[in-house]
Amino acid sequence: MSYMENHIQMRLDPRLLVPGVKTIISVALNYYPSKQASGLSMYAQGQDYHEVVRERLHQLLEALNVEGRCFVDTAPVLERYWAWRAGLGWMGRNTLLILPHHGSTYFLGELFVMAEADSYDTPLARSCGDCHRCIEACPMGAISETGIDARRCISYLTIENRGPLPQELTLEDCFYGCDRCQQACPHLQHAIPTSEEAFLPSKEILEMSPSEWKNLTLEQYQHLFKGSAVKRAKFDGLKRNIEACKFHPE
């Protein structure tokens, strides 16, 4: 996660990233899947969100007819912060942006625009109240009142981490990412399935059985995950995760 420390000044001051920027427009695109292949986190069921969200942002920029640039999770931009500032949602104890009545299953993107807006939105206050369900649901004890310890987070360990998995870690059915702190959140109960077909799993991925996952070959991996965010873990990383996964009986 050391990349978070890169370009820290640009993260803190967007005018260093895009000189002349006057307004940041934050957008959120729903990925809550109506059908879900086991083994994969909700966000990784379909095509890589970077391309899908980027295309939508370019369409929006064109419709607004203003000069600007689009960003999706690849530049030093504090996405959750700007989405919060834009009034899209509030930061939950699980550190995710929670959209009121919609939950946290949203990809974020930004337009950096060279024009002033007529008016600006107001940030929302955190509305977790006395709820601690995400903290209680985390099997690694990674969430506390001060945030998430990424080194203990299964999402980090199964996606970004290039080393071995901790010996004490058992993966229960999900070998790419972890949704437990999202699933535990009462706000997810109101989630509406995405209408974006690109975020849904292919028939082939849906039909994979535990034994087929266990015997996954490089050729299958390349075919199944062409254009998918799952490639982030690389073939070796995915195989490492699958080996550590205690699949439910077929």
Query: What residues act catalytically?
Result: 73
Q: Toward ligand SF4, which CB reaches closer, 40 or 128?
A: 128
**Is 128 a binder of ligand SF4 (CB under 6 A)?**
yes
**Is 155 a binder of ligand SF4 (CB under 6 A)?**
yes
Closest by Cα among 73, 46, 88 to 196: 46
**Is 161 a binder of ligand SF4 (CB under 6 A)?**
no
| Amino acid letter, 108 | L
Over the window 81 to 120, marking each residue x when it contacts ligand SF4 by CB under 6 A and - when it does not, the resulting string is -----------xxx---x----------------------
Closest by Cα among 144, 138, 147, 143 to 183: 138
**Is 80 a binder of ligand SF4 (CB under 6 A)?**
no
Give the integer Cα–Cα distance in Å for 118 and 164: 52
**Is 131 a binder of ligand SF4 (CB under 6 A)?**
yes
Identify residues 171-190 at the interface with ligand SF4 (CB under 6 A).
178, 180-181, 184-187
List the alpha helices (DSSP H) in the chain.
8-12, 14-17, 49-64, 79-85, 133-137, 154-159, 180-183, 203-206, 210-214, 218-224, 234-243
**Is 124 a binder of ligand SF4 (CB under 6 A)?**
no
Q: Residue with structure tokens 């370019």? A: 58
Give the integer Cα–Cα distance in Å for 29 and 32: 9
**Is 154 a binder of ligand SF4 (CB under 6 A)?**
yes
Q: Tell me which residues touch ligand SF4 (CB under 6 A).
A: 92-94, 98, 128, 131-134, 137-138, 140, 142-143, 148, 153-155, 178, 180-181, 184-187
